[in-house]
Structure 1
């Protein structure tokens, strides 16, 4: 899969409009100087030879050098990936906790006022454009109320965990708001169907309380569809992180990738594309593994 992604991405990047050589051209350069720069960057070779040369370097752990930062691509990604993983991980945890909690509350109060209110909020959150929601948060919480910082990951001169948390609240909320609503709807529908199963009535007959049945028996079965949705939502989280990082100037791979696209930094674009693809494939693999942890029946079928 990674090989296929690299082949398609490499072709699309090279066939896209623009020439990265023009970033190094000055008015006093002759055509021979321009071609010399092109040759030094390896862009004078046929497309298939450029791909083979890039693939050989990648297999040895060399992702190339950034054309605008003049540093190894791998070093730049290693510096930025903790910020991206932290933002993605926080949004996933927030989405799961709030989505599961609200879904259970909505299911236990089926067709009551709180269920209708939560369902309405879920539909609104699913329909919210991320860019617009980010602008609204910045306007109210940063400009009007001055409660949260609007850009960056740290305040200059401040090195504390609380400062990072304050900077990450709005980006994390924007990245997770849609997933919260999706998880809540799936948890609600799954919980309602599970509460009608025979094993629930048997537990009640043995004297189990409603909360015991819910958290000890029902919740485990309810988590199975959530794992599926979690795997399916990873592409949206990864691509959403790029947009969110650009809006809030979060120093992760997203902002690095956006700058690389505008500058036609081919090695950096390919490096970030491959790293994002690896995270996506690894995340789906992890979701498959979690199936066996949550449902032991899957292990017995192997």
Structure 2
């Protein structure tokens, strides 16, 4: 187990290093100079001002030297300064990371909580009216673009009915969380409806395969109740491939949902990454993308650990001949 974790940790560090190099090169290749963008709105700026700012930000040095300096500082906990927001990178990331975790975390939990029972019920009665209704709901959720779904929800609940606010996070005060709840409903509903269909289809497909296995027929022949057969034995084995899908989605909790956050003016990680890339803010873009990569790798590791918990036959011990 220790050897397995050490191996995965080394692999993750290599991936993060490679990702940091790739992001640095790609942003450097984007058109437009950050200093030129800063001075574009100042008609009094001179060439000497541009040269001074480039020296201040290290833009007059070769790309490899800039990357090496950033990497050395990052290893000491210094992730640099945001040019767009005029703040240290952690001060820019942390509030938006909290907003994204609140939004995507709630939608993620709701989507999984809805998908599991729906998928199981549909698999228990394949090709029935219930199965057809669940499949129609899933295909509708998969097919509707998130921005269109967001517009429909805004038009219905914010414009027509006036029940919920259309955008923003709401006021901050003593009852800040209670005041923010109405602002929270529509973006969470959008993300949940957009993802629950895919999860339900995966659960249904995996359950259909497991319900045809010999151990299910044996459990029923022994007189076990149907609830025990389905929820205790079959679902546990069916969850193994589903865990992989859920783990791959884990990284999105930290990278944000750009379209939904933009539609509802929600200041999260998705909008931040987009703005930092378009504004050539290398430090923010680099750290945010590395955070999303690291959480995706962590999700894959958690999935491997969940495999062993769900199936005792899976082990991380070395098998020697």
TM-score where L is the length of structure 2 = 0.87
Cα distance between partner residues in 1 of 2:301 and 2:68: 28
Of residues 139, 147, 168, the one that matches 2:184 is 168
Structure 1: give runs of 5+ residues left out of the alignment: none
Q: Does 1:16 align with 2:30?
A: yes
Question: SS in structure 1 opposite 2:45?
Answer: coil
Contact 2:251 / 2:292 at 8 angstroms: preserved in 1?
no
Contact 1:175 / 1:244 at 8 angstroms: preserved in 2?
yes
Greater CA deviation, 181-190 or 10-19? 181-190
Over 3 Å counting, the alpha-carbon distance change for 1:235 and 1:254 in structure 2 is same
Contact 1:62 / 1:74 at 8 angstroms: preserved in 2?
no
Of residues 211, 214, 228, the one that matches 1:212 is 228
> Which residue number in structure 2 is paired with residue 81 of structure 1?
97
Cα distance between partner residues in 2 of 1:261 and 1:180: 30
> Which residue number in structure 2 is paired with residue 99 of structure 1?
115
Question: SS in structure 1 opposite 2:87?
Answer: coil
Cα distance between partner residues in 2 of 1:191 and 1:176: 22
Greater CA deviation, 27-36 or 236-245? 236-245
> Which residue number in structure 2 is paired with residue 151 of structure 1?
167
Contact 2:251 / 2:299 at 8 angstroms: preserved in 1?
no
**Pairwise CA distance, 1:192:** 2.1
> Which residue number in structure 2 is paired with residue 51 of structure 1?
67
Structure 2: give runs of 5+ residues left out of the alignment: 1-14
> Which residue number in structure 1 is paired with residue 272 of structure 2?
256
Over 3 Å counting, the alpha-carbon distance change for 1:128 and 1:240 in structure 2 is farther
**Pairwise CA distance, 1:48:** 0.9
Cα distance between partner residues in 2 of 1:243 and 1:20: 25
**Pairwise CA distance, 1:86:** 2.2
Cα distance between partner residues in 1 of 2:130 and 2:178: 33
Question: SS in structure 2 opposite 1:298?
Answer: coil
Contact 2:261 / 2:268 at 8 angstroms: preserved in 1?
yes
**Pairwise CA distance, 1:132:** 1.4
> Which residue number in structure 2 is paired with residue 133 of structure 1?
149
Cα distance between partner residues in 2 of 1:203 and 1:164: 49
Contact 1:194 / 1:222 at 8 angstroms: preserved in 2?
yes
Cα distance between partner residues in 1 of 2:45 and 2:220: 84
Contact 2:168 / 2:183 at 8 angstroms: preserved in 1?
yes
Cα distance between partner residues in 1 of 2:27 and 2:91: 22
Greater CA deviation, 281-290 or 5-14? 281-290
Contact 1:246 / 1:258 at 8 angstroms: preserved in 2?
no
**Pairwise CA distance, 1:106:** 0.8
